[in-house]
Every structure is written in C-alpha cells, then in structure tokens.
Structure 1
Amino acid sequence: MGKFYDAIPPNLISWIEKQEMFWVATAPLSADGHVNVSPKGLRDSFHIVNENKVWYQDLTGSGVETISHLRENGRITIMFNAFEGPARIVRLFGTGTVHEFGTPIVDVHKVGSSCGYAVPLYEFKAHRRALIDYAARLEVKDQEYAAELPADADTPNVAQNGIKNYWSKNNVKSIDGIPGLQGAHQSNVTPLSGMQDEVQGVGEPEADKTATGVTNGAAIAASAKGVRGRDQLGLLMAFSAGLAVAAMVIKLQLVGVL
C-alpha cells in the first residue's frame, strides 16, 4: 500500500539523496502529442532544501521536451526508485515553471511512497562522462569565438559549431513544435567552463579512478561534500554566468504516489 505525507519525511529525504538517478515525465496538452520520460543523473544534481522544497539541475540534451511541456502546461512528475536495498518507488506529482537563467525549485505539499517490487536490482558503477566531455568541447568553441570579437560588438557570441548553436538547432522546439528555449541560445553571455576540480564516481568504465577537470557545456564541475561523505559533482547549470539549457524553477505540488 502506498503512503502519503504532507511533507517529505526524514527517511525519504535521506533515501532520495542517495539515489544516483531519477526520471522526469511530462506531456503536451494535445491528445496526440508525445508523452516524454527522461532519465536524469550525475551525482548531486537533485537537491532537497527542506521537507517542502527541492530543486534539480539539468544538462544539455538532444531535445527539449521537458522544458517545452512545462512552458505549455506546467505538469511534471519526478520519480525515484530503488535499484539496491529494500524495494521502493517515490513519485512527486506537480507543476513547474521553466527558468533558463536560474535554479530549479520545488515546493512540496504532499509526498507519497510505494513498493517497487517489480524493479530489478542493479549495481551502480559510474556516471558516464561522454556528454560532459562533448558539451565542454562545444562550449570552448563559443569561448574562442567570443575572444576574437571586438569588445563593443553587439552581435550574439554564437560560434558556428559552439554550444549555443547546438541549442538553436536542438533545443528551441519540442518534437510536437512546442517552444522550448527562449533566450539562452541568443545570449551575449559566453558559457564558462574549465574549472579544474576532482570529481569522484564520474567516468566510465574506470569508476574507481578520479576524473580531473570534468566540465560540461551545461555544467561546471564543483566539489561538494555529499550525504555519504564523498566528493560530488555540483552541476552549475548557469555556467556561473547565468546560462542554462534546462535549469528549471519547478514548483511542485505533490498529490500522491502510484
């Protein structure tokens, strides 16, 4: 049987903070539109401020479904499930608002948990770094292009093969034609990366080795102590300069768990 709460209880807070990934589900209003489910990951990308407020950071991706659907109707479900230890599923149902220049925030008024007996057991090894490395290379293109422009240039700092050009091609509309990004891809602010830091547990396939200088077109590696006392990847989706592909302010009203 499912359990329901008016706030996230301490045992669920600690459990959520230990999960290595979660899912977000959104859908357009159109009856024949595409319902979208996306896996989200990288350590320390989901945060709980208190028992009634959480926020998460996203990465540059090949699509923009979550942003587009939230712009249109605001509905979203965030789901966590246990891959190890006792079976459990937690779903957060609610509404959200997208902010390209900001931080995801979730205001919680009801929480629920249920069994996850159908979820198989898996052993976590590491987060993949392919996206991190790829986006970082695109980001560097924008930096190099901006460095060559005159200081008083009034044209957007958009390199032909940079990260913002990638956003223009892939993140301005959903597959159903719903608007996605509105300004990040045209901003004169240049994405910043290159922060040298040590990030443990990020990389593939050698999960036990430390990856140095992990950066991303939608993230900057930052060291932060995690709930399990290990360094975690802090995803600064605003490039420390205010740019983000899918950094969303999400105000969630949790109505239950299925």
Structure 2
Amino acid sequence: MAKFYPELTESLQEFIQAQHIFFTATAPIQGRINLSPKGMNSFRCLDAHTVAYLDLTGSGNEASAHLIENGRMTIMFCSFAEKPMILRLYGTGCVIRPRDHDWQDFYSLFEPIPGARQVVKVSLEAVQTSCGFGVPLYEHLGDRETLVEWAEKKGEAGIQQYWHDKNQVSIDGLPTYILNEK
C-alpha cells in the first residue's frame, strides 16, 4: 500500500496545505529520538524538493541539535478527515536562525508568530504515502493560543533568557547554537 515519489507532487502539496498538524522526527547518532507535533500554520512547501517550517520556542531544542549533528529528519502528515492517508517526507535539514544572512528570506514566508525561534529547511530525499486506514477521524477545533500568549508575556528579553536557560543544549547534551555561532 505504500508508494514512494521522487518529489512532492502538486496533489501532495495540496494535501499538506489542508492539514492542521504535522509531526517532526529527528535523532542523534547516540541518544534519544525526538518526535514533536507542530501546527499553527507554520509549514510551507517551497518547491517539489524543499519544505520549511517556522519553529517556535519550546521546552527543548532537540531538532536543532540533531540537525546540526547529522541533518536527518522525517516529517509526517496524516489525514484525520474522511479520506485516509499518511505522508512522510524524508530528508536532510538545516536550521536558519534570526542572526543568519538568509533569515528574512525564509521568515517572510510565514505570518509572524511570537516566540519564533528558527526556520527549519528540509531538502527532500524521498516522499512516501501510505494508507492511513488506522488513523482515527478527528475534527479540528482551532489552534491553541497558549504558546502565543506565553511568548507575548515573556517579551523579547524573556524569550532570549529562556533560550539561554533551556534551549542551548539537547537533553543528550548536544549544542544547538541558538545564541551563538559554532
């Protein structure tokens, strides 16, 4: 039932645009695998071979550390609506931070969201669909405002302090370089 594609077709890009949630997975060479849900209209298809998402400040910064170490990332979308399907994007990612020269080019692709930490760009190596027959039906009721409210309350200085305190290394001790260069 699984089918591989050499690129993101137009119909697969339309499927992605219709989804309200996606999941990212990364892993270090040694250590814990990270799997995170994402939403808030933070994903973009740049072309048939490249995607990006706006990464928001969170409790950790695992994906950044893993991408710096080895670049591997899988992104998964699944339909919770009537027509079942799972879409996996396999690729190599990199992190673009506000201090990087191409930040504005990528950040401008998204609506500003308080607490934006970095943009993750992924060059696709493989695209796979599978049936999704076991995925339950769910109704999207809306995005949570909690993260936005938290970031607004912290303010820019508070976000920078949070990055300093919580986002500089992964749970396995790998650097993220969120505040400084390699």
Which consecutive unaligned segments of at least 5 residues does structure 1 have?
143-161, 187-258
Query: What's the secondary structure of 1:77's corresponding residue?
Result: strand
Mapped partners of 1:125, 1:98: distance in 2 = 30
1 or 2, which has the higher helix percentage? 2
Q: Does 1:131 align with 2:147?
A: yes
Match of 1:36 among 34, 37, 50: 34
Mapped partners of 2:176, 2:51: distance in 1 = 23
Larger deviation, residues 17-26 vs 101-110: 101-110
Q: Which has the larger radius of gyration?
A: 1
User: 2:10 is matched by which residue type in structure 1?
Assistant: P
Classify 1:66/1:14 alpha carbon distance in 2 versus 1 (closer, same or farther; 3 Å).
same
Q: Could you tell me whether the CA contact under 8 Å between 1:25 and 1:66 is conserved in 2? A: yes
**1:95 aligned partner:** 92
What whole-Å deviation, never above 9, does each CA across 1:124-168 have from its counterpart, x for those lacking one? 00110011011111115x2xxxxxxxxxxxxxxxxxxx1111111
1 or 2, which has the higher strand percentage? 2
Which consecutive unaligned segments of at least 5 residues does structure 2 have?
107-119
Q: Does 1:105 align with 2:121?
A: yes
Mapped partners of 1:72, 1:105: distance in 2 = 15
User: 1:52 deviation in Å?
Assistant: 2.0
Mapped partners of 1:25, 1:97: distance in 2 = 14
Match of 1:117 among 118, 124, 133: 133
Q: Could you tell me whether the CA contact under 8 Å between 2:90 and 2:124 is conserved in 1? A: no
Identity of aligned residues (%): 43
User: 1:16 is matched by which residue type in structure 2?
Assistant: I
Mapped partners of 1:181, 1:135: distance in 2 = 20
TM superposition outliers: structure 1 runs of 4+ over 4 Å:
none
Q: Could you tell me whether the CA contact under 8 Å between 2:96 and 2:121 is conserved in 1? A: no
Q: How does 1:160-199 map to 2 (within 5 A)?
A: 162-183=158-179
User: 1:28 deviation in Å?
Assistant: 1.0
Matched residue count: 162
What is the TM-score normalised by the length of structure 2?
Answer: 0.83
Q: CA RMSD in A?
A: 1.6
